[in-house]
Homo-oligomer: A and B are copies of this chain.
Amino acid sequence: MGGDHAPQATVAGALLAAAELDPTHSITLVGQAARIEQTLDTLLHGEHAALAEHRARLHVVDAPDVIDMAEKPTAAIRGKPNSSMMVGLRLHAEGQADAFVSAGNTGAQMAASMVLLRLYAGIKRPAIATIFPTGKKPVVVLDSGANVDCSAAELVQFARLGSVYAHDMLGRENPAVGLLNIGEESEKGNAVSKEAHALLAQSGLHFVGNVEGRDLPAGFNHNGPLDVVVCDGFVGNVILKFYEAVAPLMVGLLVKAGMDQQRIMAALRDLDYSEHGGAPLLGVRGVSIICHGRSSPRAIKNAIKVAVQAVDNRLVEHLGKRMEDAAGGAAA
């Protein structure tokens, strides 16, 4: 029920995913059952008539409450235990679903995921990981908005989480982890980034040093290609939203200069990270994928495929192992 175009975009995305996924997979649509059934009917008698054979692999679970996009997270999850957010995450927590995907209220998804899925030992708050398209390979950037004031130790946790994600989901061996900062040298930055630099250098991760703002779109820093970039959620969120808005600005200028919009959009399509399939919430014991509120059916479909990949590649198990190892190392 979450997202700017719910339930149409979500339901259509699930239908598209069912059609593309291995037939052993099924999708549970959680929300106001009557509206979901009606939306499915409309789609299957209209633009998605060709997908009718996949209808049987979509199940509907009723959740009468809806958490509004602007509701305060904690109040919302306490006051609406029968919302699609809470019911869906409970299905995942109880093992009736292997993963959870939502385009709803991000803060509520975070809070509900922490409560129902719980955090790995030693983790205080989860991080939102975003896949940034770059001039080279995509880079995992975290935190991109969940934590506004981060300690250096938290940035190291993000690095561990992001490193496992880059390995399992993007196939990167020994992922190169960088620290977003304002200069190449280790002594550059604010108090937190200087301390984080020192901690990352001793973390056992493949730490490749500071990453400047200009290195992020490039996909590499002075030491080579990047797989993971860590930063606090304030900077991460500002950069992410900035990135989203720069492309339309440039496209607008090019179109105004008489260039062909369709050709431009096709050329820049790889930069539209919103189509890359949602942002995982890392640090909780489960697969909780956050989609943009304005996700298209294609973006929802991709997010569902990311969730399936996370399950197939045993991401949760690997994250748990890495966090345990880190906690053991710290205790030793």
Which residues of A come within 8 Å of B, CB atoms? 134-135, 145, 148-149, 180, 182, 189-191, 193, 212-218, 231-235, 237-247, 249-250, 252-254, 256-257, 259, 263-264, 266-268, 270-271
Contact between chains at B253 and A189 (CB < 8 Å):
no
Evaluate whether A256 and B267 lie within 8 angstroms (CB atoms) in the complex, with A213-B241, A234-B235, A235-B235 already known: yes
Known A212-B238, A257-B263, A264-B259; contact A271-B245, beta-carbon cutoff 8 A: no
B245→A213 contact, CB < 8 A = yes
Nearest B residue to A267, CB-CB:
B257
Q: Are A267 and B259 in contact (CB under 8 A)?
A: yes
Residue of chain B at shortest CB distance from A254: B267
Closest CB in chain B relative to A174 CB, distance in Å: 26
Q: Are B267 and A253 in contact (CB under 8 A)?
A: yes
Are A238 and B239 also in contact (CB < 8 A) when A217-B249, A249-B134, A252-B135 are?
A: yes
Q: Could you show 6 A-B contacts with beta carbons less than 8 Å apart? A: A190-B232, A213-B239, A214-B241, A215-B245, A235-B235, A257-B263
| Chain B CB within 10 Å, residue with most, of A213, A237, A257 | A213
- Which among A190, A217, A237, A246 has the highest number of chain B CB atoms within 10 Å? A246
Q: A254-B267, A267-B256 are in contact. Are A191 and B149 (CB under 8 A)?
A: yes
In the complex, A247→B150 CA distance in Å? 30
Contact in complex: B268, A254 (CB < 8 Å): yes
Residues of the B chain whose Cβ atoms lie less than 8 Å from the Cβ of A271: 249-250, 253
Whether A244 pairs with B214 at a CB distance below 8 angstroms is: yes
Q: Report yes or no: B217 in contact with A245, Cβ–Cβ below 8 A.
A: yes
Evaluate contact between A214 and B245: CB separation under 8 angstroms: yes
The docked-state distance in angstroms from the alpha carbon of A10 to that of B314 is: 58
Q: Besides the contacts A253-B268, A253-B270, A259-B267, what 18 more A-B pairs have beta carbons closer than 8 Å?
A: A145-B182, A149-B191, A182-B233, A189-B234, A212-B238, A213-B240, A216-B242, A216-B245, A217-B246, A234-B235, A239-B239, A242-B243, A243-B246, A247-B250, A250-B250, A253-B271, A254-B254, A254-B268
CB distance from A157 to the nearest CB of B (A): 18
In the complex, the chain B residue whose C-beta lies closest to that of A231 is B238
Q: Are A237 and B213 in contact (CB under 8 A)?
A: yes
Inside 8 A of A235's CB, which chain B residues have their CB?
A: 234-235, 238
Closest B residue by C-beta to A266? B257
CB-CB under 8 A from A263, the residues of chain B are 257, 259
